[in-house]
Amino acid sequence: MKQQRRTLRKDKKGFTGLEAAIVLTAFVVVAAVFSYVVLNAGFFTSEKSKEVVHTGVEQVTTSCELAGNVIGHGWEYNASQSSGNITMATYDADGEHYRDKTGLCTGADVSALIAEIDGTANNYTISVTTDATTNATKTFTLDGADDSAVVTTNLAGLTRITGITRTSGTTSDGATITIKATCNGTYYWDQNGYDNFYDSTNMSSLTLYLTLTAGQSPIDMDMLTISYSDQDTYVGQLPYSEETNASMGNMPMGAWTYTTQDTPGAVDNNMLEPREQVCVLITLPDYGVTVNKQFTVELKPSVGATVKISRITPGQVDKTMVLY
């Protein structure tokens, strides 16, 4: 026992001040690093919280709603060359102007290009370059005034005419070349007395009006997405069509367009603003929907709540119907 006590008294090991300082410094460094990490995490969380709040406020303060009824139409889809031709481009033979209408046939099955001349011209040859799959150049030979020539070719997916060139012939009286294309399109039932374009089997299109809810922020209509579904068909995003004149066959099936209504204070642009209304025309895909069937259209702004419209087609399809 005495030997053990003597050994303990002779042990000189201890915790010096230098060692204590080193350990304390290490603790301080670790605590500082930890505090820095915690503070940065707090700042990041705070900024994210602000971002979430701002996004939520933006979502809540941007919303549109239906203004009035949803109108259905039994307009007929047309695919015939005789009445389905639309003007794609015009070219003044004297080189005064060339106008290209793009996108009119997007999504349609184009089977032919038609060249028509208005004015006086003999032995006239023109070439047309298209954005079809082959990007081919089509050549037309016109023999006289008010003549026409048709080139039938595989032009499925044609979206625009990219050029018209007068390759031979002389002109006078400002002869104008018009290029047309055959498309599947819709027809207004009452346009030019075309009663035979009424479809009593399928409801093929919708008309509805949108306005902002009270106190809401403007909505960019060009950023709007419209989807369609029924028990047989689903299209997540209907393509936008620039043309509103369906009576000329230039509104393909399964598309949509809009027009700002002429109301006091309205500005005709792409923004739906307070005290404005826009008329939205939607042509239904797959030739439309038959009687007594439910369908759903969803209008999804880039910011804000989705407007969901569910309706049932009536037991009889008329030229114009209020849907419930």
Domains of the chain, by residue range, sit at 62-77+186-323, 80-183
Task: Provide the pairing of β-strand 294-300 with 225-230.
Answer: antiparallel
Give the Cβ contact number of residue 317 at 10 Å: 21
> What's residue 102's pLDDT?
42
> Which tokens hold the place of 102?
């793009």
CATH class as words, domain 80-183: mainly beta
> What's residue 93's pLDDT?
52
Place of tokens 């820095």: 36
First to last CA, the chain: 104
> What's residue 81's pLDDT?
33
Report field, pTM of the whole predicted structure over 0.75: no
Class of residue 92 by CB neighbours under 10 A (exposed 0-12, middle 13-18, buried 19+): middle
Per DSSP, the residues of 171-231 read: EEEEEEEEEEEE--EE--TTGGG-GGGB-SS-B-EEEEEEEEPTTPPPEEGGG-EEEEEES
Angstrom CA distances, 297 to 104, 171, 181, 206, stand at 23, 52, 30, 10
- Write phi, then psi, for 4 (nearest 5 degrees): -65, -40
> What's residue 70's pLDDT?
95
27 three-class SS: helix
CA trace torsion 176, 181, 182, 186 (10° rounding)? -90
**Residues 302/220, Cβ–Cβ less than 8 Å:** yes
Indicate the residue type of 242. E
> What's residue 121's pLDDT?
56
Residue 77's nearest CA partner among 202, 214, 264 is 202
pLDDT < 50 regions, the chain: 79-84, 94-108, 173, 189-194, 247-248
> What's residue 122's pLDDT?
57
